[in-house]
Structure 1
Amino acid sequence: MSQLKKEITLLSGIGQLSTTLLGTGLFMVPAIAAGIAGQFSLWAWIVLFVAICPIALTFAQLGKRFPSAGGTAYFVRKAFNSKLEKSVAWLFLSVIPVGVPAAIALAAGFLQQLLPSGLNSSIFAQILTVALLIGVNLAGAKSSGRLQTVIALAIFALIAAFWWQGDFSSNDLILPELTTESILPIGLALGVMFWCFVGIEAFAHMGEEFKNPQRDFPIAIIIGCFVAGATYWVCSVIILKMQAYGTPMFDSGSIPWVANQLFGAEFKTLISIIGFAACFASVNLYTQSLSRMLWAQAREYSPNSSLARLSIRGVPANATLAVGAVVLVSCIIGELSGLDLEFFLKLANGIFVLIYLLAMLAAYKLLTGISRHLAVVSLVLCTAVFICLGWSMLYAVSVFALLNLPWQKWRAVKASNNV
């Protein structure tokens, strides 16, 4: 078996993308953004959503015309060359040490509260989370899609319950008046908030597994982004009114705190279950996309290797196990070193924004007509967000520069000198 199974429907695709975009972000980014920009974070969400629309539409066109498990790396190869494709593939993998440990630590924080005493340590909860990720991924994209659709519905129900119980009204939706002083905090907040819409590039790796990618893939991206954007904005309104921001505790605990204030301590277990499920869903798609990217690279450049094989379920099992092993090691290192969520978010965002930039460059070369003009707008917007990242873009730039050094040429020269 050399082809992935086409099992993803439109509904499961929307569920997968929306839960991935919400996932870990919903439980930390609205509070962090509010701590940076206060009430002006509501404007920042609108700016971000407007900016992400053309980017999402461009990814939708790329995925529709070039469905592949290689995702952005494949788009870049089609537009440019295989050397740049490999650089993008490894750039995507480089998010594991900075992005995945923070996400899994947040998910494990919720799981830890559900484990019995004696087993409720942070490191055990993270190991168990990684084991569950591998298990769900080995079950196939169809099972994963159904699970994430259920999780998406649970998240929407939670936010709706907050709104109803908190007695919110249309007056709470009024935006603050923009001033010249608000531009800087809005820009700084955007540097963190972009995390909430990373996942589109990971979703691009799933295009090959849609039953009807030409029709359903672009619709899933557009609806998934809209649903996630609306949910983030409403959640931010709730956090701002409840003043659940401004301290390190709220950066990862604002949602549980709001639930405790509105429903009491007896709601804690349910919040822990939903919180773990949402964070798990987000990391799950990344585990899927990383394994499929690794499989796609092996299929292209080393077709006889174990990483290029598929299981009887049509899943890149060996690639999934390899990614799971790297994630586990990264989590252990992250736990021993201590995690600062905002710091790791900014480093990971640098990687993702650079990948988006490269995808938009590929789109400009591959697409035609209105889609090409949209790619130009997206390229400008990605550049603006990259600038907003400030110092944290250095990690992405450094990794990408190292990947593009002439390593093969140097090895050839060294080999010829040794002859």
Structure 2
Amino acid sequence: MRNDGLTAPQGTALYVGAVLGTGVIALPALAAETAGPASLLAWLLLVVLSAPLAATFAALGARHPDSGGVSTYARLAFGERAAAVVGWCFYLAVPPGAAAAALFGGAYVAAAAGGGAVVTAATAALLMVAVTVTNAAGVRLAGKVQLAAAALLVTFLVVAVLVALPSADTAHFRPFAPHGWDAVPAAAALLVWSFVGWEAITHLTGEFRRPARDVPRATTAAVLIIGVLYLAVAFAVIAVLGPRAADAEAPLGELMAAGLGGDARYLAAGAALLLTFGTMNAYYAGAAKLGAALGRDGALPGWLARGSRAGEVPRRSLAVNAGLSFLSLGVVVAAGVGAKPLVLLTTGSFVTVYAVGVAAALRLLPRGSAGRAAAVLAMGAVLLLLAMTGIYLLWAVVITGGALLYLRARQGREPSPISVVASSSSTPSRDSESR
């Protein structure tokens, strides 16, 4: 047991930040525009699908706690090439995803304070700086900050729903499916972004004090919290805003304004910043650890390997991740295309990570165990997510090609590294936190 590791409440907060994230900021309105009140069925479907996915990754994390996360599970199940592919898909999905999340948060600030695209971009950049600095200080600080941010975030969302519900009108639910029942799957496809994140904390399972006990506890608590909050916010958006929901760029702000007046949009901007910070904080922490593990195992340059062991701070990998995130932000701001392309590229990569991770679980988890049963159900969920993602899986194909080419080039100039997965979950030295 590690006395300085993450606790179950801190792990729950990291999960809430990673999964709840920016989906609740804008997607309830987009889903309502697509399917009307029937979009609630899409939300419910994805809440149900997320439960076996979360349970599968929790079982893997508790059984194989390592900073490599899904990449480690793929190596144990299918070998080095599969590990490299899934590692690259995750590592290279975080920068565009972080840039998109930061832009979502910045848009709320611009909506409340004015300033348009300039304020949006500036806020996004400041969020990236804040998250980078927090993670550079170490995962223990990140976990404590995340716990506080998650508590404030949940409070904001609960308040937004409660103050708005007195303005609800049951007439807003008629007709229930104005665009037909076939619009529900289309709405669900939009909402995939909202439920990406269950794999992110697998890279931090080695940081828990008691992984076998605390990871499942954190996962169970997070599934319940996230499911209730998503459904509550989506219900309130339709019940209170009605047809106006389709045009609401900041639905959370409109909910607060309905109950507290127009100035409540500033509170909504604060909530949006907390949501965004929580998402980025969890993903930066997980990606930094993953990059170090990939460097350790030869799937990325060995220069990144420092910080792969539990308790160490992977500052080199963090710096690369932060640099790529700023690059992604700069490209879309300069091109004026907004966050949508970043969202779609990120979703394609993460669905691929899910597919490989669940397939690995079917090989690694003991037959007859609860985790194995969850993995069987999760595979059905993943196949559905793959169908929803469609053409945007091409980005994951490009990343896969890059990973395999890198492995081939590396094997031509140096011997394959000896896996040190077992050592990565050992207790760190006294001075490891300062490395």
CA contact (8 A) 1:139 1:313 kept: no
Residues 1:292 and 2:284 are matched in the alignment: no
Partner residue in 2 for 1:161 = 159
1:146 alignment partner, SS class: helix
Q: 2:382 & 2:171 partners in 1: Cα distance?
A: 28
Partner residue in 2 for 1:204 = 202
Per-residue deviation at 1:400?
Answer: 2.6
Partner residue in 1 for 2:359 = 361
CA deviation string 1:25-76 (max 9, x = no partner): 1101111111111111111111111111111111111001001111110110
CA deviation string 1:320-363 (max 9, x = no partner): 11211111111111211224444433332221111101001000
CA contact (8 A) 2:37 2:176 kept: no
Partner residue in 2 for 1:14 = 12
CA deviation string 1:150-183 (max 9, x = no partner): 2222232223323332244999699889889844
- 1:35 maps to amino acid: E
Residues 1:149 and 2:147 are matched in the alignment: yes
Q: 1:406 & 1:324 partners in 2: Cα distance?
A: 22
Residues 1:24 and 2:17 are matched in the alignment: no
CA RMSD of aligned residues (A): 3.3
Partner residue in 2 for 1:309 = 306
Partner residue in 2 for 1:416 = none
Per-residue deviation at 1:205?
Answer: 0.8
Q: Which runs of 5+ in 1 are unaligned?
A: 414-419
Q: 1:10 & 1:129 partners in 2: Cα distance?
A: 26
CA deviation string 1:212-261 (max 9, x = no partner): 110000111121122111101110011112134223xx2x4111122223
Task: State TM-score, norm by structure 1.
Answer: 0.87
Per-residue deviation at 1:22?
Answer: 1.5
**Structure 1 residues 132 and 257, CA gap change in structure 2 (3 angstroms):** same
**Structure 1 residues 118 and 351, CA gap change in structure 2 (3 angstroms):** closer
Partner residue in 2 for 1:328 = 326
Compare 282-291 and 236-245 and name the one that shifted more.
236-245
2:199 alignment partner, SS class: helix
Q: 2:130 & 2:177 partners in 1: Cα distance?
A: 47
Compare 118-127 and 167-176 and name the one that shifted more.
167-176
Partner residue in 1 for 2:384 = 384
Residues 1:229 and 2:234 are matched in the alignment: no
**Structure 1 residues 153 and 171, CA gap change in structure 2 (3 angstroms):** farther
**Structure 1 residues 82 and 27, CA gap change in structure 2 (3 angstroms):** same
1:157 alignment partner, SS class: helix
Per-residue deviation at 1:379?
Answer: 1.1
Partner residue in 2 for 1:281 = 278
Q: 1:29 & 1:235 partners in 2: Cα distance?
A: 10
CA contact (8 A) 2:153 2:274 kept: no
Q: 2:183 & 2:256 partners in 1: Cα distance?
A: 28
Per-residue deviation at 1:113?
Answer: 7.2
Q: Which runs of 5+ in 2 are unaligned?
A: 414-435
1:76 alignment partner, SS class: helix
- 2:182 maps to amino acid: L
**Structure 1 residues 260 and 59, CA gap change in structure 2 (3 angstroms):** same
Partner residue in 1 for 2:342 = 344
Q: 2:338 & 2:110 partners in 1: Cα distance?
A: 19
Give the counterpart of 1:67 among 54, 65, 68: 65
Per-residue deviation at 1:134?
Answer: 0.9
**Structure 1 residues 151 and 409, CA gap change in structure 2 (3 angstroms):** closer
Q: 2:178 & 2:164 partners in 1: Cα distance?
A: 32
Per-residue deviation at 1:276?
Answer: 0.7
**Structure 1 residues 240 and 296, CA gap change in structure 2 (3 angstroms):** same
Q: 2:221 & 2:32 partners in 1: Cα distance?
A: 26
Residues 1:90 and 2:88 are matched in the alignment: yes
- 1:392 maps to amino acid: Y
Task: State TM-score, norm by structure 2.
Answer: 0.84
Partner residue in 2 for 1:417 = none
Q: 1:123 & 1:340 partners in 2: Cα distance?
A: 10
Per-residue deviation at 1:123?
Answer: 3.4
**Structure 1 residues 365 and 257, CA gap change in structure 2 (3 angstroms):** same
Q: 2:170 & 2:292 partners in 1: Cα distance?
A: 48
Compare 178-187 and 43-52 and name the one that shifted more.
178-187
Give the counterpart of 2:131 among 130, 133, 138: 133
- 1:268 maps to amino acid: R
